[in-house]
Structure 1
């Protein structure tokens, strides 16, 4: 053999040997988050078709599995058990069959789920039943059983796909005690996310030695210390501060995100968030190059994929047809009649029939002196005429309990001062806006105005007469004239106040930062609590009364009215379009 032929043969042999030792593995990771009961392609509250839903995600997954098979890993990031009547029905009405959400996730072959705050809100009986019905692990590294000091759910799981070892660590925002009554999570504790992640990353790296590490955190992107105690939305901080994560999947804040950050060791970490309602999913492509069985290179890219172009999966729809029928029968039950239509839209500009109906019902149910309540849905409407169960989800969005609390007159005014400071601009002239608004860009559509702060923290009061001077700074806006019956209001007196459990536990910080009550003292102020969610009692009250004539109580007003009247119409047009304000 010629020398040149020999060299070529040796080269080819070495190349073949090297190629044989090098291998490429491609994985697809898919995340749903904050599904909020949107299982079917139908909104049972509005009684109309919906663009999101697990049914559409199922179509997408079925398509992608044709290419990836078991190399597709499907994960959910919490808040899946609350939002639509579908979830409510299987949380509290049908409690004996397999939970619909678990059955659907089993049908779709989820690999893991993670706990969200609204899953905790359903109560231990509900979320433990759901978790036991799931044929895959539910994660929650920082949800600790106080009796054992061990995680209530698995802290992490290890999956192996095509020779690749994948670690998935799940956590929840620790701010649960600031929102939810302890009777819903009694016996549990919610530890700081960053401390928990640091601990479990050490365990995972030393004991498991994975090729890929994924964090799935039910917490948003921008960290914020709530009530001086709970570090909410610490996901991006963890990605930056704690080396080892390749991908951090986030949720909770309903904010689309797909970006890379650099961690403390200079490595790139993908952060991705599909927002809410299963309208969008997170799709992550991972390409791993292996040499002699060891990963030598990682290529990771993320994409947010809209689900509205996918038809609901036909097999999914057929398989769960009977459960859909049960939910439709549940929401179709007539409970009473409204003589007037009500909407949350007027609630931002003054007293409204919508919010004042909630005030009246809270006062009637609790026997309190004063009620605090806010619009829980940005733009909800209930038409005059027969009222059905589905309308109650528009009237009251969340499964909050009703608390009766002991608050001083000064504390009540402090809470209202903070509420209106979150809600209203400080007007310097008649041309200024009344509300605190910002512009939000929209893909393929004109920009729109939205509130700077969540409207579910815009508490107004009933049971007192007061004005809100929008020319004044926070602390000087609210002037309480008297009780609603004309008797004096006393800032030194203790009053019985009806609030929802979210507010009573410190949610929105109106009672802590606004009223100045320490977080640890809030529980002592609770005089009584309902044992079921407030929507249940609202429903029972309407059933008893049968005919409700909702009207604004007109117990408060914005001043100076010469400024606020024209500013209201301008702001109304920015929020809802050019139509006459009701």
Structure 2
């Protein structure tokens, strides 16, 4: 008996030991793990080099695809089922990829080589891939999709919404894709089928010249997905999207992910490129299920990662979605988490060496003195003047060869707009001495091109107001630019000057703007050079000027006199910013650090413009404070008329301005007497949707009726969300239950009103302009 018991226990012990060694997948053969990895917006960061540094730092940068390759190898060693994709904007951005795109056309493209060596499953072309022209893009695509070799794998390409333009248009679709690329692929992992669809950004037609996207019809994204949805669902257990699109924005043009996920119920995962966003966003689909959208940052900083555990019996799954960092931060130092992959580093090293020796270190001219970085953005700069001069020099048909039949573009522009788009933190942006071609990548970070367009005097002034709103006065009296210099524009031109007064209210800071000694009028017209990013609305300048009374349509072709894209078509690329800088310096031979701009930042302080507002009156401080903040304005340039009655339109407008002039959600009103485009229209819309005013009837606001003391106090009370009042009513003429009774008590508690007398509030008395200004001033304390 004891022997049999001993044998049984021994058997059970061995069985337990064996079971602990069985893989989890064997223990539950119904569960399958599938790992999805994605890179996006790498922008040429293939090799571990920061090209704003000197050549001896080559290969030491903490971010690169060579380092990502090491991480991917580790993940593949751990997980059997791995799908690797890239969401686009892969090539444009560094000298390495730029040099081989334009100057080494017979060589295998280095960015494509990396994806082939890393065994990518899918590439989605980004919008910046089109910047170099169709010849270059097609050459890259042909190499990427060519047959596998011993060391490289063929990579699939998918943009389901990029259709063949020869058979697709706005009225007819046969859904034949551009170049015949698969709209989606079906992958099977241990019996689990996954449909992976690539989606390209549909806004290319608005961002690039037609020659650069010739042959492509851009179909609507939601329309495209729904066209294929049923057949993907019939074939696959999971649906994954790899997309070069942002999440929120205009779903019909560029940023459609939220729109797509929230109007469907079949998508299980999205990789979202284009925005350089770093994170995971959860978006509810039509069933209320939250779908992970992974945005894998830029420049190989992270790898998007989603691990699915799928149960084949139930059809249910769990997913772990994250961005896996490729670096760590120790104090102020960023360090790499992964060493560069030896094989890919060895394959890219000849490319890197040639980029430096044959391109980056090539001398193009000399600087006679230092172009300092000191005061950049807060005072005229020789460097910013240089960039603006180059833009004016480049943005017209100075040879007469690009548009030989059009003489309207043979004249340089009067003005130029730029921001200090530099990299690094050197004291001198261009030191005295030799200038090398590679310096251009440090001097101008982006591969922009330029337009010469027409702008009105009002548009130029309001554009500068947007810049001026970013100027901050420091405690020591110096100035700084909030938000950084990338979004701070300077305007240059011979004979053009302006003064920014940072002490003035935002929106009224351009104290002076002159051209050839005369103050610029709103109706004046100028020819202006602007980069493509600003012209299509980047940096929010276009939205700002439109919110302040202008009508500027992004990418408005009717304004365009000349585009340097004429010089970029089909790979010539002479119109790109860095090439223009290099060509200008080469043509000059020697450049001098000369400051020609005369604009300045000068705090003038507020001066009382009103002859009828005297010191010592009870309302003086109130009117001065509100006038300085642009909350109240005079009835003329020199009079305020403090004792004139204030109407309802004026009162609501003052309250709206005191709140910061917020943009109302509504664009129309039910009030028939509120005229569209009137100075008070937005104020009334805002006040109605915030419950501050209700109208005198359902269809009338009565804007020109005088505002009573009861009404203005009630408006103020409602603007504070109608708080309770705890004080004692001392006014005989404020009856309990009156619509204004609590408002008056609140105003008394808050020190906003003291009453007409100690016992009289006079609720129906006409409120004059001085009294309203005083009430608002006290409520803002």
Q: Specify which of 88, 104, 107 is matched with residue 97 of structure 1.
A: 107
| CA distance in structure 1 between the aligned counterparts of 2:131 and 2:155, rounded to whole angstroms | 21
TM-score by length of 2: 0.61
Q: Specify which of 545, 562, 582 is matched with residue 514 of structure 1.
A: 545
TM-score by length of 1: 0.80
Q: Which residue of 2 aligns with 1:460?
A: 490
Q: Is the 8 A contact 1:416 1:514 kept in 2?
A: no
Q: Which residue of 2 aligns with 1:529?
A: 563
Q: Specify which of 195, 213, 226 is matched with residue 239 of structure 2.
A: 213
Q: Which residue of 2 aligns with 1:12?
A: none
Q: Is the 8 A contact 1:33 1:276 kept in 2?
A: yes
1:407-440 CA distance string (max 9 Å, x none): 232332233333444x346x7x979996674xxx
Report the CA distance between 1:491 and its aligned residue: 3.8
Greater mean deviation of Cα atoms: 383-392 or 307-316: 383-392
| CA distance in structure 1 between the aligned counterparts of 2:198 and 2:373, rounded to whole angstroms | 37
Q: Is the 8 A contact 2:122 2:157 kept in 1?
A: yes
Report the structure number with the largest CA radius of gyration: 2
Match of 1:160, SS?
A: strand
| CA distance in structure 2 between the aligned counterparts of 1:332 and 1:372, rounded to whole angstroms | 30
Report the CA distance between 1:201 and its aligned residue: 2.8
| CA distance in structure 1 between the aligned counterparts of 2:206 and 2:309, rounded to whole angstroms | 41
Q: Specify which of 232, 245, 252 is matched with residue 274 of structure 2.
A: 252
Report the CA distance between 1:190 and its aligned residue: 4.2
Q: Is the 8 A contact 1:344 1:377 kept in 2?
A: no
Q: Which residue of 1 aligns with 2:97?
A: 87
Q: How many residues align?
A: 516
Q: Which residue of 1 aligns with 2:34?
A: 27
Q: Is the 8 A contact 1:117 1:176 kept in 2?
A: yes
| CA distance in structure 2 between the aligned counterparts of 1:155 and 1:415, rounded to whole angstroms | 43
Report the CA distance between 1:495 and its aligned residue: 2.3
| Higher fraction of strand | 1
Q: Which residue of 1 aligns with 2:65?
A: 54
Q: Structure 1's 345 and 203: CA in aligned 2 closer, same or farther, altered over 3 A?
A: farther
Q: Is the 8 A contact 2:362 2:437 kept in 1?
A: yes
Structure ranking higher on relative contact order (CA contacts 8 Å, 6+ apart)? 1
1:109-133 CA distance string (max 9 Å, x none): 1000112222222222222221221
Report the CA distance between 1:43 and its aligned residue: 1.7
Is the aligned partner of 1:414 residue 2:445? Answer: no
1:488-518 CA distance string (max 9 Å, x none): 6454333221222333344445357626455
1:54-84 CA distance string (max 9 Å, x none): 1011111222222335x21111011111111
Match of 1:121, SS?
A: helix
Q: Is the 8 A contact 1:44 1:328 kept in 2?
A: no
Q: Which residue of 1 aligns with 2:527?
A: 496
Q: Which residue of 2 aligns with 1:142?
A: 161
Q: Which residue of 1 aligns with 2:232?
A: 204
Q: Is the 8 A contact 1:179 1:503 kept in 2?
A: no
Q: Structure 1's 165 and 486: CA in aligned 2 closer, same or farther, altered over 3 A?
A: same
Greater mean deviation of Cα atoms: 295-304 or 501-510: 501-510
- Equivalent runs, 1:351-362 vs 2, <5 Å: 351-362=380-391
Q: Is the 8 A contact 1:33 1:274 kept in 2?
A: yes
Is the aligned partner of 1:368 residue 2:399? Answer: no
| CA distance in structure 2 between the aligned counterparts of 1:57 and 1:180, rounded to whole angstroms | 31
Q: Which runs of 5+ in 1 are unaligned?
A: 1-18, 438-450, 564-582
Q: Is the 8 A contact 1:469 1:477 kept in 2?
A: yes
Q: Structure 1's 387 and 65: CA in aligned 2 closer, same or farther, altered over 3 A?
A: same
Greater mean deviation of Cα atoms: 171-180 or 542-551: 171-180
Q: Which residue of 2 aligns with 1:9?
A: none
Is the aligned partner of 1:555 residue 2:609? Answer: no
| CA distance in structure 2 between the aligned counterparts of 1:279 and 1:173, rounded to whole angstroms | 22
| CA distance in structure 1 between the aligned counterparts of 2:315 and 2:50, rounded to whole angstroms | 47
Is the aligned partner of 1:390 residue 2:430? Answer: no
Q: Is the 8 A contact 2:89 2:127 kept in 1?
A: yes
Match of 1:43, SS?
A: coil
| CA distance in structure 2 between the aligned counterparts of 1:343 and 1:188, rounded to whole angstroms | 46
Is the aligned partner of 1:238 residue 2:260? Answer: yes
- Equivalent runs, 1:418-497 vs 2, <5 Å: 418-421=466-469, 423-424=470-471, 437=482, 451=483, 455-463=485-493, 464-473=496-505, 475-483=507-515, 485-486=516-517, 489-497=520-528
Q: Structure 1's 117 and 164: CA in aligned 2 closer, same or farther, altered over 3 A?
A: same
| CA distance in structure 2 between the aligned counterparts of 1:80 and 1:561, rounded to whole angstroms | 49
Match of 1:296, SS?
A: coil
Greater mean deviation of Cα atoms: 357-366 or 508-517: 508-517
Q: Structure 1's 197 and 352: CA in aligned 2 closer, same or farther, altered over 3 A?
A: farther
Q: Which residue of 2 aligns with 1:224?
A: 249
1:317-345 CA distance string (max 9 Å, x none): 11222212211221111112234444667
Q: Which residue of 1 aligns with 2:366?
A: 337
| CA distance in structure 1 between the aligned counterparts of 2:214 and 2:379, rounded to whole angstroms | 39
Q: Which residue of 2 aligns with 1:577?
A: none
Match of 2:317, SS?
A: strand
Report the CA distance between 1:313 and its aligned residue: 0.6
